[in-house]
């Protein structure tokens, strides 16, 4: 058996045995080194793991993770929900629209789907249930809408993608994700509205609670609404880099959470830092051990041979693009976004170069595919979060999740056939998209 097969077999078998992705990647890489190279090359393990995480842009990842936790606990979601409800009022699909809008705005603060899913579900699920929405539907909708955080800048996954393709402008990726993210959110509203109207969910008389006034709720929501403006505005103006933007986001979140919404204190700060350290540690361990897998695969030529095998399937770029999208979608149902980028990007780079696909546009397609996977069973991390909040079984949401998967996939197809949906904004802003 060739070293390539040993590496892939050990990696796949480790995953099937339930081993964490990080260690499966590390073991797969070690197997490739031992069978295809000299055992003396194991001395490179330390260097490879260090080099994988010793990259300046990766500093932004733990900071944006902390940002997501801060905004989740600072009362931001509640203020945004009140403002959105005061604008939309009570009508068929009104609360569904509020949930999607708040998820999109929260995604512009944290870049983390699970964090947004938890924050929005805690606030929205009681109101939606009271208005007649079935809890499985509400949990599925919020899980799907919060998955757009991987597209709406700042996005942790896009930061990693820019690191995997040296020279790619992260600002261009952030700008390219905005309109596809909004399109993905809009694709969820169409079925939500028609289902609410057909089933009589949420009418003007569905709740006796008085809606907050637009003026009062807007004033209270201003600090939350300013967060994405400050982050994205600072990036656009050149006032700070994406990494510095993460520092600004953390600082701003602490200020409004402590002094404006008064939801944070020293005790909660210690808890948030502790949680952020744990999550960041997991992410960085995955990236570090994936460095072993990536180095082994590159040195052995495994990734090149896999890319050649994919290219041999068809000469049509469109056919192969659809096959790649299907592969990424299946991977998104089983793995987290970071693992998918680390595993598949080295294989896909030769395809990007061969067909001269725009790397920014292609990165957004990957992100949209992974976003769908985040709420599609069997793993569906966002759906796990919302079903836990809703206190229902994951199996109860399958039919709704499949519906939203289809509608969001239609948005992906639009971006696939019309690349300018993603590329127009970064080109207009003068960022390099190649």
Distance CA 378, CA 384 (A): 10
pLDDT tens digits for 286-299? 888 888 888 888 88
pLDDT at 304: 83
Q: Which of the residues in the chain have pLDDT under 70?
A: 89-91, 110-112, 203-212
**Which residues lie closer than 8 Å to 141 by C-beta, 6 or more apart?**
96, 99, 100, 188, 192, 400, 404
DSSP letter string, 282-343: HHHHHHHHHHHHHHHHHHHTHHHHHHHHHHTT-S-HHHHHHHHHHHHHHHHTTS-HHHHHHH
pLDDT at 383: 85
pLDDT at 207: 55
Distance CA 124, CA 142 (A): 9
Distance CA 313, CA 304 (A): 15
Q: How far is CA 38 from CA 42, 69, 248, 393, in A?
A: 8, 45, 47, 50
Residue from 405, 349, 324, 413 nearest 372 by CA: 405
**The pair of three-digit structure tokens given for residue 401, joined into one six-digit string:** 């999740």
pLDDT at 204: 59
pLDDT tens digits for 315-341? 888 888 988 888 888 887 777 778 888
The distance from CA 245 to its chain's CA centroid, rounded to whole angstroms, is: 18
pLDDT at 211: 66
Whether residue 196 contacts residue 133, with contact meaning beta carbons closer than 8 Å, is answered with yes
């Amino acid at each position: 058996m060739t070293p390539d097969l040993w590496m892939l077999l050990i990696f796949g078998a480790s995953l099937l045995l339930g081993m964490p992705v990080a260690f499966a990647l590390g073991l797969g890489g070690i197997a490739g080194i031992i069978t295809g190279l000299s055992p003396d090359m194991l001395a490179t393990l330390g260097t490879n793991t260090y080099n994988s995480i010793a990259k300046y842009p990766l500093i932004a990842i733990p900071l944006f993770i902390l940002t997501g936790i801060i905004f989740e606990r600072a009362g931001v979601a509640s203020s945004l929900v009140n403002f959105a409800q005061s604008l939309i009022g009570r009508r068929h699909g009104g609360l569904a629209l509020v949930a999607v809008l708040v998820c999109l705005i929260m995604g512009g603060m944290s870049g983390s789907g699970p964090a947004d899913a938890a924050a929005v579900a805690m606030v929205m699920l009681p109101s939606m249930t009271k208005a007649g929405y079935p809890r499985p539907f509400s949990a599925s909708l919020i899980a799907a809408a919060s998955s757009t955080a991987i597209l709406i800048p700042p996005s942790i996954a896009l930061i990693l993608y820019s690191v995997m393709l040296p020279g790619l402008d992260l600002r261009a990726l952030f700008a390219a994700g905005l309109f596809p993210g909004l399109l993905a959110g809009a694709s969820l509203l169409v079925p939500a509205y028609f289902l609410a109207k057909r089933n009589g969910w949420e009418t003007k008389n569905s709740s006796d609670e008085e809606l907050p006034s637009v003026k009062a709720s807007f004033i209270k929501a201003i600090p939350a609404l300013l967060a994405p403006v400050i982050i994205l505005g600072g990036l656009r103006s050149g006032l700070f880099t994406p990494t510095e933007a993460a520092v600004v986001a953390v600082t701003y979140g602490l200020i409004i959470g402590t002094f404006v919404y008064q939801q944070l204190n020293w005790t909660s700060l210690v808890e948030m830092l502790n949680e952020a350290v744990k999550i960041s540690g997991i992410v960085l361990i995955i990236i570090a051990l994936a460095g072993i897998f990536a180095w082994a695969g590159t040195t052995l030529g495994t990734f090149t041979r896999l890319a050649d095998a994919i290219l041999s399937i068809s000469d049509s770029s469109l056919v192969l693009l659809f096959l790649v999208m299907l592969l990424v979608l299946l991977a998104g149902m089983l793995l987290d976004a970071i693992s998918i980028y680390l595993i598949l990007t080295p294989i896909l780079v030769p395809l990007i170069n061969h067909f001269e696909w725009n790397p920014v546009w292609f990165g957004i397609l990957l992100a949209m595919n992974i976003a769908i996977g985040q709420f599609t069973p069997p793993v569906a991390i966002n759906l796990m979060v919302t079903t836990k909040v809703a206190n229902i079984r994951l199996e109860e949401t399958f039919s709704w999740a499949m519906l939203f998967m289809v509608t969001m996939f239609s948005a992906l197809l639009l971006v696939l056939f019309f690349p300018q949906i993603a590329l127009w904004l970064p080109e207009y802003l003068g960022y390099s998209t190649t």
